[in-house]
Amino acid sequence: MAENDSASSTQPSRRSHRLWLIGIVILSLGIIGAGIVYWLGTRSPDLNDDLSMLGYHKAEQRQMGRLYGKMGTLIDDWADDLKRPGVQAAIIAGFSIVVAGGCFHFARLLENDDDAH
3-state SS track over 37-105: HHHHHHHCCCHHHCHHHCCHHHHHHHHHHHHHHHHHHHHHHHHHHHCCHHHHHHHHHHHHHHHHHHHHH
Average pLDDT over the chain reads 84
pLDDT digit string (tens) for 37-79? Answer: 999 998 877 666 666 666 667 787 788 888 888 888 888 888 8
* Closest-CA residue to 109 (of 11, 4, 12): 12
Residue 17, pLDDT > 80, answer yes
pLDDT at 23 over 90: yes
Q: Is the pLDDT of residue 1 over 50?
A: no
Cα(70)–Cα(56) distance, rounded to whole angstroms?
A: 19
Best mean pLDDT range from 8-12, 42-46, 88-92? 88-92
> Could you tell me what percent of the chain has a pLDDT over 90?
43
